Copies of this chain bind each other. A is one copy, B any other.
Amino acid sequence: MGTVLDSDASPVRLALVAEDPLARGALSRALSEQAGDIAVIASGTLAEVESSRAGDAPDVVLWDVGLHPSEVGGRMEAPELGAPVLALVPDESAGEGALSTGARGLLFRDVAPAPLWAALRAVARGLSVFDPALSALRATPRAGASASAPEGLTPREREVLALLAEGLSNKAIAERLDISEHTAKFHVNAVLAKLGVQRRTEAVVRAARMGLVTL
């Protein structure tokens, strides 16, 4: 942070951390298709990136925790590279772990490119960024209250439920998830069925009562 000019134009220097080469490649490729104000200065597994640390530290670390973060080992080990970490998680449970390791932001792994770029820049500027569906985790100790039935609900359905709780219409949900309105309806129906209700409003109320979503 210094001159006036660096305010926005200065490229964001990014360190990309992912154990899975495939995921790393996909992210790296997607990143490179960017206008150019995001520069990948390091990429590799956690060990690789931490060792290859060449003089200049990144502005932000994009950390893909992978599909099965729990299998990796006892606890999740977050990158420690002197920069805020934006974690990509497969689901809510992984989000808790990532947060506890100090992640500054939390997005789902399948986030669309545009939001990802925006999030990276925001985190690089020192902000915290969350997917709305994950923002409930913030500082929430999650007192084992998971009790309810997240089971039965697939990840996609939980995602839809979260948007449902935002009061979005099917069309809006479709746009947000970048799927067809038909599919959005499909998922909404699945949620309604699994929650045993007829109306989306009911679904939101029940979900809120069960702690599936945070209003």
Contact = CB atoms under 8 A, between A and B. Distances in A.
Interface of A: 1, 4, 6-10, 33-35, 104, 107, 112-115, 117-119, 121-122, 124-132, 135-136, 138-140, 164-167, 169, 176, 178, 197-206, 208-209, 215
Given A113-B8, A122-B122, A130 B132 contact: no
B127 A128 contact: no
A27 B202 CA distance: 35
A86 to B, nearest CB: 11
Nearest to A124: B118
B126 A176 contact: yes
Contacts of A33: 4
B205 A166 contact: yes
A20 to B, nearest CB: 23
